[in-house]
């Protein structure tokens, strides 16, 4: 029984079409070349991971708590589609012995991530990230380096105007005492906060700072700032990161409300926004230091820092700035005047030795085929008719000038080269 309704894509995912892919590849190529310029190596990890790995490291994030694609089958390991890459990259680093000498790994990964989020523009259920991770590096110079890479990538695709927001959220030594201060500040205000933040006040008070609900905003200004309560080590790290960025000519804004609500995140957090973007707009890239992540996964304690950039969002931003110019897939189109698939195939094969070549096999009327050649934007048409083909001859048409000449099939490569 044929269906009455054609089958469409799943909600929240999208096709990336041939016309979009040149821009998409520019963004990916800029990512790769920037990462390589800094000595980073590519890693590919599975899109499926044990659900436990993902859930352990993200329990309190929307990406894990609400948006995880999770597959549970009786008697089988519960799996999840990765919502982000860092957990898997850290797992792979240890599991494959990259933590043996030289210990320091500079890695990058480009691939799809999955979140069962409410679909909207710039927010998809399958989206692609460029991830950069340094595992085994504690120096603040690594924090500055990954920030420089993120900026270099975005500048590399001509997104020059950027806003970098930066903060430090301390570590296991200083953050607990700060969180107590934050709770002390918010407790008397609890009844004025929205429901979710009332719960967060005790479970994850840091998240009160990045709450976007309007009713909670007025209280932030008076909240204690984590950077005023760092231990000596974290303060020195925070100071170094800022000095390194300044020395690199990278402007940033200290955003005291920029946080990550998970314990394994330490010290530096940052986000890049398009210049001029305000408030609720989504970041192009975000990252930070995660010195507690390896241990959270059950591996030896190992520092790490990195970021994830959104390839979909960066591509969309570029497309808004520069409308797509269609690029023809082939330089040459072989156009038989009549039904001559055998000849068209052979001539196309000859041309293909020197130029991308397609052939129009359909026995349609000839003017329609020529109009298609115009529309496709090919540089050359190779026109066949039965009489010429019998002599292994064709007409070579320069589509821009309209000039035509008779050419032997075997001379086509030299004419087209
Ligand atoms: P996050 O892992 O949430 O910090 O996201 C890192 C980057 O990935 C963001 O700055 C976005 O550019 C991109 N991103 C995150 N979620 C989505 C999504 N649902 N659709 C498209 N891009 C996303």
Nearest CA to ligand 1 atom 16: 123
Going through 313-403 in order, the beta strands assigned E by DSSP cover 332-336, 357-359, 380-384, 393-398
Q: Is the pLDDT of residue 156 over 60?
A: yes
Q: Is the pLDDT of residue 371 over 80?
A: yes
Are 112 and 100 within 8 A, CB to CB? no
Decide whether any atom of ligand 1 lies within 6 Å of the 116 Cβ.
no
CATH numbers and ranges of domains, the chain = 21-174+230-321 (3.30.930.10), 332-416 (3.40.50.800)
Beta bridge partners of 166: 254, 270
Per-residue pLDDT band at 279 (split at 50, 70, 90): low
Which pLDDT does position 60 carry in this prediction? 67
- Does residue 123 have its Cβ closer than 6 Å to ligand 1? yes
Run of H or E including 226: none
Whether residue 312 has its Cβ less than 6 Å from ligand 1: yes
Q: How far is the CA of 154 from the centre of ligand 1 (A)?
A: 15
Mean pLDDT of 98-115: 94
Whole-model pTM over 0.95:
no
**Pocket-testing residue among 283, 305, 311, 316, ligand 1, by greatest number of atoms within 8 A of Cβ:** 283
- H-run or E-run covering 114: strand 105-114
Give residue-wise pLDDT tens across range 28-39. 999 999 999 999
Q: Using DSSP bridges, classify how beta strands 266-274 and 162-168 pair: parallel, antiparallel or unpaired.
A: antiparallel
Helices 140-156 and 21-37 pack at an angle, to 10 degrees, of 150
Mean pLDDT, the chain, integer: 93
pLDDT at 148: 98
Cβ contact 241:268 at 8 Å: yes
* CA pair distance 245, 365, nearest whole angstrom: 64
**pLDDT at 65 (0 to 100):** 75
pLDDT digits (tens, 9 = 90+) for 286-339: 999 999 999 999 999 999 999 999 999 999 999 888 776 777 789 999 999 999
Pocket test for ligand 1, best of 16, 86, 120, 310 (most atoms within 8 A of CB): 310
């Amino acid at each position: 029984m044929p269906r009455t309704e054609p089958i469409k894509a799943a909600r929240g995912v999208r096709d990336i079409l041939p016309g979009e892919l040149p821009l998409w590849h520019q963004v990916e190529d800029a990512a790769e070349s920037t990462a390589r310029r800094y000595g980073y190596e590519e890693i590919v990890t599975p899109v499926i991971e044990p659900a436990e790995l993902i859930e352990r490291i993200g329990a309190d994030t929307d990406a894990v708590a609400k948006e995880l694609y999770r597959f549970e089958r009786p008697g089988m390991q519960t799996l999840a589609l990765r919502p982000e890459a860092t957990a898997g990259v850290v797992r792979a680093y240890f599991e494959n012995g990259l933590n043996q000498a030289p210990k320091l790994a500079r890695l990058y990964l480009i691939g799809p991530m999955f979140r069962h989020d409410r679909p909207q523009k710039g927010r998809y259920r399958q989206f692609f990230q460029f991830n950069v991770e340094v595992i085994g590096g504690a120096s603040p110079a690594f924090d500055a380096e990954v920030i420089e890479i993120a900026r270099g990538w975005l500048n590399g695709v001509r997104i020059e105007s950027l806003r970098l927001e930066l903060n430090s959220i301390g570590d296991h030594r200083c953050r607990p005492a700060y969180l107590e201060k934050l709770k002390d500040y918010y407790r008397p205000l609890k009844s004025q906060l929205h429901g979710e933040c009332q719960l967060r006040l005790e479970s994850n008070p840091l998240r009160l700072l990045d709450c976007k609900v309007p009713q909670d905003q007025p209280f932030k200004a008076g909240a204690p700032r984590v950077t005023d309560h760092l231990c000596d080590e974290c303060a020195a790290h925070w100071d170094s990161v800022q000095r390194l960025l300044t020395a690199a000519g990278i402007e940033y804004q200290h955003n005291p409300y920029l946080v990550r609500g998970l314990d394994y995140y330490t010290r530096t957090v940052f986000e890049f926004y398009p210049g001029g973007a305000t408030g609720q707009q989504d970041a192009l890239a975000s990252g930070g230091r995660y010195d507690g992540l390896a241990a959270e996964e059950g591996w030896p304690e190992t520092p790490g820092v990195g970021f994830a950039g959104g390839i979909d969002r960066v591509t969309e931003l570029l497309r808004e700035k520069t409308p797509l110019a269609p690029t023809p897939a082939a330089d040459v189109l072989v156009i038989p005047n009549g039904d001559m698939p055998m000849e068209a195939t052979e001539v196309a094969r000859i041309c293909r030795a020197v130029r991308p070549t397609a052939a129009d096999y359909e026995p349609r009327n000839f003017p329609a085929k020529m109009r298609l050649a115009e529309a496709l934007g090919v540089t050359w048409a190779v026109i066949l008719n039965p009489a010429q083909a019998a002599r292994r001859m064709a007409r070579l048409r320069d589509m821009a000038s309209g000039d035509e000449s008779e050419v032997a099939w075997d001379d086509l490569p030299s004419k087209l080269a």
